[in-house]
């Protein structure tokens, strides 16, 4: 069996085209959404991700507001940049690119973001609304990668209602919140969250209909721990230098041999990453439409 591809790049392109129509309608009313980004330091991967977000904005007519700080920026420098983005009327919503440099109080920074401008959906208020199930996708942006994963699965009609979903990894951008989205009544999946403290990962994954590999551990999900025919989503964004070209490349959490046993696999790159970016754009456009009335 060779798994079929959950083509995130193709689905993201469809979503961007849909959003472009909405941005044009806003422009006809004199409204131009703006995405802000705050990039601290010179991590090549973070720089590449932020550049991709702004390329997307340019493609569909969203304005870009960029804040960049050096790696030695202080907590106060970063807090001042967050406040500038909170106060900027051209900025509809923004993200603070993670991770921030060691020694910075990331949670304090995220809490300083105006929840109304939280394009990442990672502010405690918006995550709390998800917990309380009082979030409205228009007033409360959903966390981009979890929302992107579910959108990708639903666009390929992967059965989620009643499905056993195993999440590998408990990070802030995916593991901690995706279960909240998957267990909503609209989706009704059953979720197991595994992590570095899990004693026997295979005991859980071998029963999973869907595996979401978001541990940031290259190749952590291998064919021998996957139920034949399961659906596997690769969220990993680890990078290594290619032995031949010497260039930095993504090494996902899903081992290549999983394609021999799974029914569907998301490629990496080309799967969840573009979906993350598309959901970010959707959060910005949704906020702009709400503000425009």
Ligand X SMILES: Nc1nc2c(c(=O)[nH]1)N[C@@H](CN(C=O)c1ccc(C(=O)N[C@@H](CCC(=O)O)C(=O)O)cc1)CN2
Contacts to ligand X by CB under 6 A: 48-49, 52, 95-98, 120, 144-145, 173, 237, 250, 268-270, 273-274, 276-277
What is the set of active-site residues?
Answer: 53, 97, 120
Rounded least distance, CB 212 to ligand X, Å: 14
The span from the CA of 42 to the CA of 52, in Å, is: 15
Rg of the chain over all Cα atoms, to the nearest angstrom:
19
The span from the CA of 62 to the CA of 190, in Å, is: 37
Q: CA angle, 277 as apex, 271 and 283 as ends, to 5°?
A: 130
Rounded least distance, CB 178 to ligand X, Å: 12
All residues at 6 or more sequence positions from 32 whose CB lies less than 8 Å from its CB, including other chains: 26, 61, 62, 63, 90
For residue 75, what is the DSSP state? H
161 is in an annotated binding site: no
- Which is it for strands 210-213 and 248-251: parallel, antiparallel or unpaired? unpaired
Hey, what are 120's tokens?
């990442």
- Of 56 and 209, CB closest to ligand X: 56
Q: Distance between terminal CA atoms of the chain?
A: 50
- Of 170 and 206, CB closest to ligand X: 170
- Of 13 and 31, CB closest to ligand X: 13
286 is in an annotated binding site: no
Q: Tokens 């290259």 belong to which residue? A: 218
Rounded least distance, CB 47 to ligand X, Å: 9
- Of 77 and 164, CB closest to ligand X: 77
Hey, what are 223's tokens?
């064919």
CA separation, residue 107 to residues 82, 180, 193, 244 (Å): 13, 20, 22, 39
32 is in an annotated binding site: no
**Residue 20: φ, ψ to 5°:** -60, -35
Rounded least distance, CB 124 to ligand X, Å: 15
171 is in an annotated binding site: yes
Nearest-CB residue for ligand X: 273
CA separation, residue 10 to residues 4, 5, 16, 17, 271 (Å): 14, 11, 10, 11, 9
Rounded least distance, CB 230 to ligand X, Å: 21
Q: Which residues are annotated as a binding site?
A: 169-171, 237
Q: Which residues are annotated as a binding site for NADP(+)?
A: 169-171, 237
């Amino acid at each position: 069996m060779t798994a079929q591809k959950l083509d995130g790049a193709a689905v993201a392109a469809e979503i961007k085209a849909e959003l472009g129509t909405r941005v044009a309608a806003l422009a006809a009313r004199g409204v131009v959404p703006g995405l802000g980004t705050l990039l601290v330091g010179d991590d090549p991967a973070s720089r590449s991700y932020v550049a991709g977000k702004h390329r997307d904005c340019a493609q569909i007519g969203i304005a870009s507001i960029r804040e960049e700080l050096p790696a030695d920026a202080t907590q106060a420098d970063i807090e001042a940049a967050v406040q500038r983005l909170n106060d900027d009327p051209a900025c509809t919503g923004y993200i603070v690119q993670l991770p921030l440099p060691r020694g910075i109080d990331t949670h304090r920074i995220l809490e300083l973001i105006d929840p109304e401008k939280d394009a990442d959906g990672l502010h405690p208020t918006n995550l709390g609304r998800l917990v309380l199930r009082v979030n409205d996708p228009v007033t409360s942006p959903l966390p981009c990668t979890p929302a992107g994963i579910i959108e990708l699965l639903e666009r390929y009609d992967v059965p989620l209602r009643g499905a056993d979903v195993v999440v590998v990894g408990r990070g802030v951008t995916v593991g901690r919140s995706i279960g909240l989205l998957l267990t909503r009544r609209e989706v009704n999946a059953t979720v197991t969250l595994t992590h570095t403290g899990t004693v026997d990962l295979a005991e859980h994954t071998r029963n999973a209909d869907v595996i979401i590999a978001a541990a940031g551990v290259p190749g952590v999900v291998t064919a021998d721990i996957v139920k034949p025919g399961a659906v596997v989503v690769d969220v990993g964004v680890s990078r290594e230098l290619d032995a031949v070209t010497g260039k930095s490349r993504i090494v996902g959490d899903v081992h290549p041999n999983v394609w021999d046993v799974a029914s569907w696999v998301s490629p990496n790159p080309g799967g969840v990453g573009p979906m993350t970016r598309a959901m970010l754009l959707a959060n910005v456009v949704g906020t702009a439409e709400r503000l425009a009335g």
